[in-house]
Amino acid sequence: MNKKINIIDDEMQPRNKNEITEAEHELFEKIWHERHLVCIEKEGIESQPKKGLESAKKIRKKYPKELGPYTDYEWGELSGALMAIRWVLGNEWGDLDS
């Protein structure tokens, strides 16, 4: 009675490791940037290291129309995608470090 259901289309092709790691890096940057903004809001911009401010500027330039603010749903999508990609790459389930 435990019949397996195949949800994978025969035409689907797995992503290669390079595509997966590029997606992981993009998600990491977007999540890191949002958390950076939360830190600025809570602690003030003067409390942020120069390197962090420079990194945030680069991320804004790289993704000018793709950064938050995110809805709760969008935040969940980003976080879930990052967690799933990291799991595929061998990390423990639940790894959302940024």
Spell out the per-residue pLDDT of the chain, length 98, in tens: 566 666 667 778 889 999 999 999 999 999 999 999 999 999 999 999 999 999 999 999 999 999 989 999 999 999 999 999 999 999 888 777 76
Alpha-carbon distance of 46 to 59, in angstroms, equals 19
Helices (H), 1-98: 17-43, 50-62, 72-88
